[in-house]
Amino acid sequence: MATKSPRNDNASRNRKVAKFGLAGIAIIGVGAGLTSAAWTDDVWFTADAASGTIELQGRVLAVETDPSYTPGSFQDADTEGLSIVIPADAFGGLTPNDDLSVTLELYNDGDGILALQPAVVEVVGDLFDDPGVTWDISAYSAPSIAPAASATVTFSIQTPDWDGIEGQGLTGDVVINVQAST
C-alpha cells in the first residue's frame, strides 16, 4: 500500500483551492456580465422655483348714509400709520337711535389663499365712553379669500335714545385692523 507523502497532500489541497478560487471568479464574472448593459440612458429633470406673495388690500365699498357713494380702488394699507379712511359723513352727525354702517371690502392681490383672522376693533373717545353707544363688526362674507377674489365685512355704530341735550357733541375714533395669513 502506497503512502501519500505530505508533499502530495499539499499539492492536492492547493489544486482544490485553485479550482474553488477559479470557480468563484468565474461565477463573479458571469454575475457581473449579466448585470452590465451594453446600452445606457439617463433622464434629467429641472424646475424653476419661486416663493409666492401675500397681499391683502382693502377699500370702503358702501356707506349707508351716502347711497351714491362710489368705492375707490383697492389700497395697500399694511404699514402702521397708513390706513384706509372711512368717509367722515359715514358716522358724522349721529342722532338718537341711529344704527349706521359701512361695508368694507378686502381683496387678495397675492398668490395664495388667505385665511382671514378676526377683525380687531379699537374705539376711543367720549362717544364710546357713553354706555348707550355700541358698535358691531359682522362676520366676514367668507372665511378665506382666493387669489383675485374679495370678501366683505360690515362695521356699524348704534346710538341710544338720547334725551334732551344728552349725547350732543361727543366724538370718537375707530380703528379696524384686519389680518390674513396663508
Model confidence pLDDT, tens digit, residues 86-118: 999 999 999 999 999 999 999 999 999 999 999
What whole-number distance in Å separates Cα of residue 70 and Cα of residue 60? 9
Q: What is the DSSP letter of 66?
A: B
**For the CA atoms of the chain, what is the radius of gyration?**
41
What pLDDT does 78 receive? 81
Host H or E run for residue 18 = helix 6-35
What whole-number distance in Å separates Cα of residue 17 and Cα of residue 5? 19
What whole-number distance in Å separates Cα of residue 124 and Cα of residue 129? 8
Global pTM?
0.73
What whole-number distance in Å separates Cα of residue 2 and Cα of residue 4? 7
Task: Count the alpha carbons within 13 Å of 7 in the hemisphere toward its beta carbon.
Answer: 0
Task: Count the alpha carbons within 13 Å of 75 in the hemisphere toward its beta carbon.
Answer: 14
What whole-number distance in Å separates Cα of residue 22 and Cα of residue 136? 93
182 residues of the chain, pLDDT tens digit each: 555 555 556 666 666 655 666 566 656 655 555 556 688 889 999 999 988 899 999 999 999 999 999 999 999 988 767 789 999 999 999 999 999 999 999 999 999 999 999 999 999 999 999 999 999 999 999 999 999 999 999 999 999 999 988 999 999 999 999 999 99
DSSP codes joined into one string, 141-157: SSSEE-TT-EEEEEEEE
Q: Which residue type occupies 168?
A: Q
Tell me the torsion sign for CA atoms 28, 34, 38, 40: negative
What pLDDT does 38 receive? 82
